[in-house]
Chains A and B, each alone.
Chain A
Amino acid sequence: MILLVVIAALFALVLINVPIAVAIGVVGGVGVYLNMGEQHLMNIPLTLFNGATNFPLIAIPLFIFAGALMNTSGISTRLINLVSALIGFVRGGLAMVNVGVSMFFAEISGSAVADVAATGSVLIPEMKRKKYNPNFSAAITSSSASLAVIIPPSLSMIIYGALAEVSVVQLFVAGIIPGILGGFGLACFCYYYAVKYDLPREEAFSLGRVWTTFKEAAWALLLPVIILGGIFGGFVTATEGAGIAVLAALIIGGVVYRELNLKLLYRALTEGVVQTAVVMLLVATSAVLGLFLTEMQLPQQLARQITTFTDDPIAVLALLNILLLLLGMFLHGAAAIILVVPIVMPLVYQVGIDPIHFGIILTLNLAIGQQTPPVASVLATACSIAKTDMWQTTRVNLPMIGVLFIILVLVTYIPAIPMSLVNIFYSTGG
């Protein structure tokens, strides 16, 4: 009951365009005041500060900064050239290039909008020139960019890991197989679509071209190798891996490609600051809401109520998926994670769902949420580049949402898909 009032109040504030972070803080603060009295309002500044001093979250500004550097230093164009040399010879190759590049590139910089803008502004005009349907062009760009949230490195996973207090590195590992499956699924759909609408191949496959583009892009490719190699190889933690990413992006953009200048560097820095603050203010204010919900024992009550109804993990996962899909329609990715995690984690633990497994389910749900209007900033950006109507594009996007949904169902009910790599690398024994 109280949970419903909280949700209604949040919605009311957000609908009249109070910033989401402030709306969360206001509802939490009013709750604390009504429930515990004026003296407890002193907890609010302490909780805000405590919410923002969460060590693993230091990865957020660092990855955002690295992503902004990558967006500005010509790395994306080189990647696109390489991927088209590799798979451009297949029917509908350009669409698959789109899938490949987005998966590799997106969701590092924290601003999904900036990432889609960076890749989409190259690929979508190119697809339109090659007579691809503009709606399809926007849809495939949006879906594949969203899929990137489960492919490491991923900001959503860093936020989830920090809030649920589980290892970010294990989350990264768990995302690999579902990410590859999703990319493969989308590529298959591209092929089917290309045959059906007789879409062109790019130029024929040539080893020579692969080699030239590879040499050009090699440094850019080195970036994830350095980051993930450093993390999985035991040289750095996930947080420090983000620091290495900044250093590598600076060296590659500034020294190797020589496309980074002081003006672009300053812009990447301010972009890093603003994007970080936008996400982190949410983290801080939702700690206030979390304080109120905890003192009301709401997450525990929710867990108890649902488990008296059913404690079958399959049913609980279905319920959670429905809830998350609904939330994803109306909330941006980061906001949804930040709100949901403290409320549902007791339930997740009580029915015995592995928190790493649940993290992948949660991020996949948010990837789908990026495709569902009204709140779908990734889709909106792609549509804006392609100059299409969001609802018409959504109709074309439905099969691709279907692909993502199938992956979600597979990941939910076959835990081995996300977990087998985790168990191999981080044998969690018995």
Chain B
Amino acid sequence: MTRFWVEKLLEIFTVCLLIGLTSIVLAAVLFRAFDSSLIWYDEVASVGLAWLTFYGANLAALKRAHMGFPGIISHSPLPIRIPLFIFSELIVISFFALVAYYGYQVMEILAWDALVSLPSVSLTLTQSAVPISASLFILCELLSLPGAWKKMCAGVDTEHEAIEEAIRLAEEELKEAKA
């Protein structure tokens, strides 16, 4: 249940970011064509990309979609699989715990600075995405852990599974298009 709502919220937020980013780029082209370029365009769009990166990475973590190499693990015997699985989860969680901790520490230093083209926007706001999304990453990793654990125990190759899913979607669309 929690998982469902976290996923929906992240989805809606990041989808809005992507729509926003697209609109900014298109607006910039339009404004330049009418001789009044948006001066904050590239700085704001770059920050938008960073937010999309980090919050989108949370969504990808929830869907376990990050690029990896599951082949060896899924083909090794269960007694080897389990400790390696736990170890790799621990590495992921500790990495983002560190990023969240130090990301929070540097906020104090960032409070000095603002965007160059929009001096009213503080860097504390723009770079808050790092500690917040790092914390969310841990949450998403934990929320998707039970599903990943089951698949690991069953020896599912997740890359193979992703490929099957892509083909299923394509075939489904093909049928829809023919109908």
Contacts and interface: CB of A to CB of B under 8 A. Distances in A.
A272 B59 contact: no
A121 B167 contact: yes
A117 B170 contact: yes
A276 B171 CA distance: 23
B67 A270 contact: no
A314 interface: no
A277 B127 CA distance: 17
A112 B162 CA distance: 12
Contact of B59 (A58, A71, A274, A334): A274
Contact of A77 (B54, B73, B103, B174): B174
A52 B50 contact: yes
Interface string A15-30: 1111111100110010
B25 A62 contact: yes
B76 to A, nearest CB: 10
Contacts of B72: 15-17
Interface in B40-66: 42, 45-50, 52-57, 59-60, 63, 65-66
Interface in A360-408: 374-375, 377, 380-381, 384-385
Contacts of B117: none
A248 to B, nearest CB: 11
B147 interface: no
A214 to B, nearest CB: 19
B71 to A, nearest CB: 6
A278 interface: yes
B129 A17 contact: no
Interface in A1-27: 13-22, 25-26
B22 A62 contact: yes
A21 B141 CA distance: 14
Given A49-B127, A278-B65, A281-B57, A71 B167 contact: no
With most chain A CB atoms within 10 A of its CB, the pick from B15, B25, B129 is B25
B95 to A, nearest CB: 5
Contact of A45 (B14, B63, B127, B167): B127
Given A20-B67, A42-B105, A243-B22, A74 B92 contact: no
A29 to B, nearest CB: 7
Contact of B21 (A13, A18, A62, A244): A62
B87 A278 contact: no
Contacts of B56: 273-274, 276-277, 280
A246 interface: yes
Contacts of B174: 77, 121-122
Given A113-B162, A259-B177, A377-B159, A273 B170 contact: no
Contacts of A266: 15
B52 A19 contact: no
Size bin of chain B's contact surface: 35 or more
Interface residues of A, number: 77
B52 A276 contact: yes
Nearest to A77: B177
- Interface residue SS majority, chain A: helix
A303 interface: no
B14 A273 contact: yes
B18 A273 contact: yes
Contacts of A278: 57, 60, 65-67
Given A15-B72, A16-B73, A53-B47, A61 B170 contact: no
Contacts of A48: 99, 103, 130
Interface string A257-293: 0010000101001101110111011111000000000
A26 B52 CA distance: 22
A170 interface: no
B163 interface: yes
A425 interface: no
A307 B81 CA distance: 44
A118 B160 CA distance: 17
A55 B41 CA distance: 10
Given A62-B21, A385-B167, A17 B88 contact: yes
Contacts of B78: none
A277 B57 CA distance: 5
Given A46-B106, A71-B173, A274-B56, A269 B19 contact: yes
B93 to A, nearest CB: 10
A121 B146 CA distance: 32
B20 to A, nearest CB: 11
Interface string B24-42: 0110110000000000001
Given A16-B84, A118-B173, A121-B170, 4 more contacts: A45-B131, A58-B21, A71-B173, A243-B26
15 contacts: A17-B85, A48-B99, A53-B49, A54-B46, A62-B21, A113-B163, A113-B166, A118-B173, A121-B171, A235-B29, A244-B26, A269-B19, A277-B57, A284-B54, A377-B163
Closest 6 CB pairs of A and B: A277-B56, A45-B103, A243-B25, A19-B66, A280-B53, A52-B50
Interface of B: 11, 14-15, 17-19, 21-22, 25-26, 28-29, 42, 45-50, 52-57, 59-60, 63, 65-73, 84-85, 87-88, 91-92, 95, 98-99, 102-103, 105-106, 109, 126-127, 129-131, 134, 159-160, 162-164, 166-167, 169-171, 173-174, 177
